[in-house]
Structure 1
Amino acid sequence: MNRLAPILLLLFVQACAQKPWYGDLKFEGKIPSSLSEVSGMVSTSPSTVWIIEDNGNKDHIYSLNLKGQLIKEFKVKNAKNNDWEDLAKDDQGNIYIGNFGNNHNDRKNLSIYKIPNPDLEPGNKIEAEKIAFYYPEQKKFPPKKSELLFDCEAFFYNNGFLYLITKNRTRPYTGKALIYKIPAVEGSYEAELVGGFLSCTNQKFCSVTAADISPDGKRVALLGSGYIWLFSNFSGEDFTKGTQRTIDVKHRTQQESICFLNNNTLLIADEQSQTKGRNLYSYSLD
């Protein structure tokens, strides 16, 4: 037994020293513990991203380097974090904050905040313009369980419009997401329904939690908890009419944020959930 003890100890130490399993995702860095609920992310340079947190957190936007380290933060003025769920950017570098989380499908104050390119702003506060909107198909707040289609955690900017992909909360769960568009201009709007998308029927993994469009406008990526739905070869505003590729990244965490770093590289972040998450990952599409 005494001879076996050192061997068993060595095997135990080696097992503990093994690297964590991230599936097909490449681990890039750990996000600070103060930012445990990252819900949206957008890349504005080859070396940094901007992130937000969701309901119950500050009305702030934060810059991280690609190792997950905090670089800078702004308080967003004239903006309330009712439930911030995603970030998007336009061709001029303006950033849009999706204040449209709607878990119970009962909100009547859905909005998006537009701020100037934070990479160019001094100080620690930044002014926001408000884009208010509503879904004309929603008649009751909340609707019946089979029509809980009006939560949203995902959007992107393209050609002057913001495209919103809703998060399905129906019971029984159908996996259907609606796609709406609204002008990316300060004001109040009726969202226009432009399409729909059926992910899959496992509510734990198939609800859309984030979205982005590639810098060249040729790919749209939607995120679930461990899945990426990638669309290409589309024309017009309904990107789901193009070629769809479903990617299983083989890593199941609460993945809430996705963005293109470049045309071929995606960045993904997950929330802290018990001992897992609060990481920044990359995924190569090549």
Structure 2
Amino acid sequence: MKFISLFSVIFLVSCSNYGQLNYIVKLPKSIKENSGITTIIDSTVWFVEDSGNDNILYKVNHKGQLLRALVVKNADNHDWEDLAKDDKQNIYIGDFGNNDNLRKNLSIYKIPNPETVSGSEIAAEKITFYYPEQKDFPPKKDKLLFDAESLFYFKGHLYIITKNRSHPFNGEAFLYRVPAKKGNYAAEYLDVFTAKVGKKKANITSADISPDGKTLVLLSNGFLWVITDFRDDQFFEGRVKGIDLGVRTQLESVTFTDNHNLLLSDERSKKTGGNLYSFSLQQ
């Protein structure tokens, strides 16, 4: 019996290895493929799920309880991949997942602060865009550069960071921007970020910028880049610090809670993931 008890303890510890992340809670089972996260008020989080799921915005508290499920009207969940928030608490849903680089209907949905909306539905405005650099649908294998899973808001614009699916893989992630208002836009190419840490770690799955606009974070599977000391939106010319989070679950979303602290989440996969975590940039 003692052997069984000791084995159980070792097993539980090994299954609870969250690296540098601080475990908060297991997310509700109804949110299996969370892909975007943002916060508005303390101790609650808003989530969306990616392709194949409903056009719903979920509110969860830090106890893992599902508090609200808002149907987003005037919107389709083709492949929702990230959430962003502006200084008026409007939320933006990035519907630009594009694994095969085939899509011509890339969208971002803008909704008002959901904390101010009663009922079970919320109306969205639609921002559509395209990448002028993409000429073929799909491009050749070495030009599969137009998937995206990352979105953040900064000074009136929405910034999109692409996810590289090229063969051979070169680690490049493009930075684009579009106005944060209803319309159809040619996304403006700004810069390229190149991560040289291997394909899985280099693919950017989420991004966010601090409330004071001084720190940008990029997330991948187990890796975090912290970018500071940039001017205006010349983000990639700033100081870049890479942090190995020490966890290899499918981390899909990150958001700031203040200028120094983050919340992160991963997708549920068998017996791992589906959790909410915190991480301090000051640790």
TM-score bracket relative to the smaller structure:
over 0.9
Alpha-carbon deviations, 1:176-206, whole Å to 9, x = none? Answer: 0000000001000000001110012522221
Q: State the Cα distance separating 1:273 from its structure 2 match.
A: 1.4
Q: State the Cα distance separating 1:34 from its structure 2 match.
A: 1.2
Matched, 1:170 2:166: yes
Which of 194, 219, 224 is the aligned partner of 2:220?
A: 224
Q: Distance in 1 between matches of 2:131 and 2:278?
A: 34
Q: Distance in 2 between matches of 1:88 and 1:206?
A: 21
Alpha-carbon deviations, 1:31-63, whole Å to 9, x = none? Answer: 011111000001112221111000000000011
Q: Distance in 2 between matches of 1:22 and 1:118?
A: 31
- Structure 2, unpaired ranges of 5+: none
Give the equivalent residue in structure 1 for 2:4.
9
Q: Secondary structure at the match of 2:257?
A: strand
Give the equivalent residue in structure 1 for 2:136.
140
CA contact (8 A) 1:61 1:75 kept: yes
Q: Distance in 2 between matches of 1:234 and 1:14?
A: 46
From the CA coordinates, give the structure whose radius of gyration is larger. Answer: 1
Matched, 1:36 2:29: no
Q: Distance in 2 between matches of 1:28 and 1:254?
A: 17
TM, length-normalised to structure 2: 0.97
Give the equivalent residue in structure 2 for 1:266.
262
Matched, 1:255 2:265: no
Give the equivalent residue in structure 2 for 1:3.
none
Instruction: Look up the equivalent residue of 1:226 and give its one-letter code.
Output: G
Matched, 1:151 2:147: yes
Q: Distance in 2 between matches of 1:57 and 1:248?
A: 30
Give the equivalent residue in structure 2 for 1:59.
55
**Pairwise mapping of residues 268-283 of structure 1 onto structure 2 (< 5 A)?**
268-283=264-279
**Pairwise mapping of residues 117-136 of structure 1 onto structure 2 (< 5 A)?**
117-136=113-132
| Matched-pair identity in % | 51
Paired residue total = 281
CA contact (8 A) 1:256 1:270 kept: yes
Instruction: Look up the equivalent residue of 1:36 and give its one-letter code.
Output: K
Assess, with a 3 A threshold, how the Cα gap between structure 1 residues 8 and 52 changes in structure 2: closer, same or farther. Answer: same
Q: Distance in 2 between matches of 1:139 and 1:99?
A: 20
4+ long deviations beyond 3 Å? 16-19
Q: Secondary structure at the match of 1:262?
A: coil
Assess, with a 3 A threshold, how the Cα gap between structure 1 residues 209 and 182 changes in structure 2: closer, same or farther. Answer: same
Q: Kindly report the root-mean-square deviation, in angstroms, between the aligned alpha carbons of the 2 structures.
A: 1.1
Give the equivalent residue in structure 1 for 2:231.
235
CA contact (8 A) 1:173 1:201 kept: no
TM, length-normalised to structure 1: 0.96
Which of 20, 23, 44 is the aligned partner of 1:27?
A: 23
Q: Distance in 1 between matches of 2:5 and 2:127?
A: 60
Q: Secondary structure at the match of 1:44?
A: coil
Give the equivalent residue in structure 2 for 1:100.
96
